[in-house]
Amino acid sequence: MWYKDEANQLHTYAADSKDLYHWEGIGLVLTQRPHEGPNVFLFKDFYWMIVDEWRGQGDSVPVIWIRGSKQD
């Protein structure tokens, strides 16, 4: 699961669960800009993350999440 941590500068973190009851934090994933909830999906053999940065959509691809649009 990817989620936005509002208490930690609105960065995106990841957690994993084998049973959806017990979760283990994986750690910090995305820090470039504050943003709204990340959405991750599989498309053409890649996982994509779309986030709303309050200035248009940003996208990222793993394994190292990189921004796919122009940065400030």
Q: Could you read off the pLDDT of 1-58 as tens digits, one per residue?
A: 888 887 777 788 889 999 999 999 998 888 777 777 788 888 888 888 887 777 766 5
Cβ 13 vs Cβ 27: under 8 Å = yes
Distance CA 57, CA 50 (A): 7
Distance CA 30, CA 37 (A): 11
Element (H, E) at 39: strand 39-43
* Domain definitions of the chain by residue range: 2-67
Q: Using CB atoms within 10 A of its CB, is residue 14 exposed (0-12), middle (13-18) or buried (19+)?
A: middle
Phi, psi of 3 (to 5 degrees): -150, 155
- Residue 63: pLDDT over 80: no
